[in-house]
A and B are shown apart, each in its own frame.
Chain A
């Protein structure tokens, strides 16, 4: 998947120009920042040999505003994390900013504010009001996700791990799991792909702040610039606007 890339569209010369326009002094790295993200539609996915998606759109606008050039690669999350810890001028996104990860990276956040929910099919007579109500039900999760790890810490006895979210959607449709625990935007996306018309949101149980996690050696000027522009994008409603454009119920 490393061959699927997107490059900052304006290049370094233009980036410098943008920085000048914005009055922000950005010490650009010798080469473009290497950004990595995992393939997770609709946040990031391959499209005509380039990467696209919700988080890609936000990143592209953010880096353009900050005048920082970048390359994006789709790589598995585990590899991305290892690379960013080892290599200067590299970052991974959108990554949940957890206590365990806090000290390992320099952060620009929140890039995204996402929510996770339990879904059932409407044919099931279930009522989930709290995490405890779901603890003894069979719950489908995406293996290796922060959401899966979160539920593990609450001693969920019957987690059914899938390697793809689409499989969870199909398992729910076939009645092989009681609940599907997933990100609300991904849930809508994959339910539609699986042809599920009767998805029922039982409980939105977790709000997650996701950010850009960079190697700690990243230039503090770049960090300041990215943080400043990201805050402006939030205050102007740009991030919400981009997120809403990926919701089916908008």
Chain B
């Protein structure tokens, strides 16, 4: 039976009630918990980069560290992708059996996660004991002063509940979750990238390859630039039209006025076009949102203040998005959002998609789908994203989502400590390879390099190859230039949707958005932040900034250079562009 006492009362009540009992039953309890640990190792955590003995030692540490918190109930929240479903329905019950700490792991939309963490920060109401929140908010968290720096917590009040074998250096996304002060603010829980997706079987057909070369003068292959992507889109939508008795399209995207339309842009679209500056994980001083940063203070997004949100490259990026949606995507795509569009490539009539989240890998490798062979291998591949004409070597090339454990100072310490134990459990080496196997959102170098993932690679369409490549760092989340992600992110869908619906031209939409972004930066500055608040720069003539080195860049005389493609094998080497 569940305890009907409200969660907030559980810790003290449980601790007081159980203290004596625990002392006398300690030996029995540890045995019982280790029995549960062995059960879970036998039935679930059968693949790991640790030996079974090492796994047992790690779980024994959890059993002992959790003793002061047994009987407590903690509540956490995350978005609802396969990885988090696995955590909520398998790992949370396992953790409860092993440690005696009950976990309620809620699943909801990412936008709702952001609203909830913002509500807790604004109102000080302890809604959750921990959040799995995208690292896109690192600039917000660093400036807010409301988030617990994990670097401090792990060596301070949380030291006794910090897993000795956590191995922070093994996490591949640490640079995304580290603030300008060098402190770790969030711990990655799952990661997925946004890559190019295409039908490798169609691209390999001699008849189609011949037709393409005759029409465009180069090989049908993985596009290296947007010119080639556009040609391939035109080829399948307007010339091939029907394959094996069905209408096919050379492009897929989505255009409904919805928050996810904003993600499509703020995640990486401008960086792929080449609007920002060089710099990994994010361009400096101008990032892929078009926000200029001076000494950690955002100073503006409009070209007149040195930003790039309405620069020629940004306008070009929006123009191509709208044009391709109209010309090459299935007609229904205009009215779809992220979730609806995500399933479409699996239906078997899309030839390529320039902006495809690898979080859909598991969904697109399910047996029986038209895009999966009978032997379970995919007919499709993922490959490096093609870049726009403004892109230069040394710039990021796409997006990587890093859903990361985030703890707020407003959460009582005891609850934070118990939730930190759960957070570490679901990323521990005992568990993480199995979790990667299920959700395909790897976070640890050791898992990516494991023999097990080598065996899985042929079934995953290039996912393992991507994550083994050092060039994966070119795909990164929103960075530290964005001082208040929840507030600024809505500007993207509000303005992009006006271009999609033809209320405004792409230039009109980006001009208005850049202006609103500057105004919002000013509002944020007026309300104050704990550090690195925006300090709007004086307006200057746009030519001043367009003639200066770096972003914002002048308009190119030719925005459609010749199309370039390469083979899938060559593109895998291309994953090492930054080497």
User: Which residue numbers of A lie inside 8 Å of B, CB to CB?
Assistant: 97-100, 102-103, 109-110, 113, 122, 129-133, 200-207, 209, 231, 234-235, 249
Contact = CB atoms under 8 A, between A and B. Distances in A.
B169 to A, nearest CB: 32
B93 interface: yes
Interface pairs A-B: 3 shortest CB-CB: A132-B89, A130-B89, A99-B111
Given A113-B127, A235-B123, A235-B124, A206 B108 contact: yes
B89 A103 contact: no
Contacts of A202: 2
A131 B88 contact: yes
Nearest to B123: A234
Contacts of A200: 1-2, 4
B258 A102 contact: yes
A103 B88 contact: no
Interface string B1-13: 1101001000000
B106 A103 contact: no
A98 B115 CA distance: 10
B125 A103 contact: no
Contacts of B260: 99
Q: How large is the interface on B (under 10, 10 to 19, 20 to 34, 35 or more residues)?
A: 35 or more
A109 B88 CA distance: 27
B116 A207 contact: yes
Contacts of A206: 106, 108
B98 interface: no
B349 interface: no
A51 to B, nearest CB: 27
B112 interface: yes
B105 interface: yes
Interface in B460-495: 490, 493-494
B104 interface: yes
Nearest to B128: A207
Nearest to A117: B2
B272 interface: no
B408 to A, nearest CB: 15
B259 A102 contact: yes
B450 interface: no
A99 B125 contact: no
Contacts of A98: 109, 112
A203 B219 CA distance: 57
B116 A209 contact: yes
Given A100-B337, A202-B2, 9 more contacts: A103-B259, A103-B494, A109-B115, A110-B119, A113-B125, A122-B1, A129-B102, A133-B89, A209-B115
A109 B115 CA distance: 10
Contacts of A201: 2, 4
A130 B259 contact: no
Interface in B250-264: 257-260
Contact of A207 (B4, B77, B258): B77
A205 B337 CA distance: 26
B404 to A, nearest CB: 20
B240 interface: no
Nearest to B105: A130
Contacts of B106: 205-207
23 contacts: A98-B112, A99-B111, A99-B258, A99-B337, A100-B258, A102-B111, A109-B115, A110-B115, A110-B119, A129-B92, A129-B93, A129-B96, A132-B88, A200-B4, A201-B4, A203-B104, A205-B104, A206-B106, A207-B106, A207-B128, A209-B119, A231-B122, A235-B124
Contacts of A110: 115, 119
B416 to A, nearest CB: 18
B230 to A, nearest CB: 29
B115 A97 contact: yes
Candidate in B104, B116, B127, B490 with the most chain A CB atoms within 10 angstroms: B104
Nearest to B260: A99
